[in-house]
Amino acid sequence: MGILYIVATPIGNLKDITLRALEVLREADLIVCEDTRVTSKLLNHYGISKPLVSYFQHSKFSKLEYIVDQLRESKKIALVTDAGTPGISDPGNLLIKHVTCNMKHGGGEIKIVPIPGASAATIALSISGFPTDKFIFLGFPPQKKGREKFFKEIAGAKHTAVFYESVHRIIKALEQLKEVLSADRKIVVCRELTKQFETIYRGAASEVLEAVKNDKIKGEFVVIINHE
């Protein structure tokens, strides 16, 4: 039976990987990753040497078929992303969907096994202080078309909202939040979580906007908006 392991990896601090994840990576016949250079750094840190195959957003369909064929040959494959949990706002989701479709159509010899670990969204939620019994996760905002609608939907959300934003668009995102949120509605912005320059900004959108503008901006951001 072929096994596809969905392996969460650290979002920054390499010590955040689980013992089980290391065990799976050591025993895998093949590791499918987003960027071989990024994954190689993690593997080298723990003395693991395995064949790597890159799979990213614009990979050809033939790459999907190759991975499924390896699973049909009873290979153990570990799927990782550059940081965090594969398939969550991540191109690995398409690969997982493709494998599940093959499982439904005569590919029952394939098994999918989750290896839990870090996820930037849940890590940020855990320190937000906002209600987390119900929340909505929105991935990355659209870069152009639909961006205004995206932020208006956040303003009207009835639960805590979470999204990711890049270093190139975080200022624009905070400016848009400032426009659609009430002055007393609180947000939390997390920068470089688990890394050396980890920073947590708290306050109204206007306050966080000024703080981020005056700081050295780098890395990826997680933005959390209280629904109250």
Could you tell me the CATH number of the domain that includes residue 201? 3.30.950.10
The two tokens of residue 220 are 């990826």
Q: Where does a domain end: 115, 139, 163?
A: 115
Tens-place pLDDT, residues 97-116: 988 887 755 555 889 999 99
- Asked if residue 136 and residue 58 are part of one domain, the reply reads no
**5-19, 97-111, 187-201: the lowest-pLDDT one:** 97-111
The C-alpha atoms of residue 143 and residue 194 are separated, in whole angstroms, by 26
Query: What is the number of structural domains in the chain?
Result: 2
**Domain housing 64:** 2-115
Report in angstroms the alpha-carbon separations of 169 from 48, 172, 174, 213, 224: 36, 5, 9, 12, 16
Range 165-180 average pLDDT: 96
- Asked if residue 127 and residue 69 are part of one domain, the reply reads no
Tens-place pLDDT, residues 23-81: 999 999 999 999 999 999 999 999 999 999 998 766 677 888 899 999 999 999 999 99
Percent of the chain whose predicted confidence (pLDDT) is above 90: 79
- Asked if residue 205 and residue 170 are part of one domain, the reply reads yes
Confidence at residue 187, expressed as pLDDT on a 0 to 100 scale: 98
Pick the closest to residue 190 from 91, 87, 119, 116 (CA basis).
119
Confidence at residue 215, expressed as pLDDT on a 0 to 100 scale: 87
- Asked if residue 98 and residue 131 are part of one domain, the reply reads no
Range 1-13 average pLDDT: 95
pLDDT at 83 > cutoff 90:
yes
Confidence at residue 56, expressed as pLDDT on a 0 to 100 scale: 78
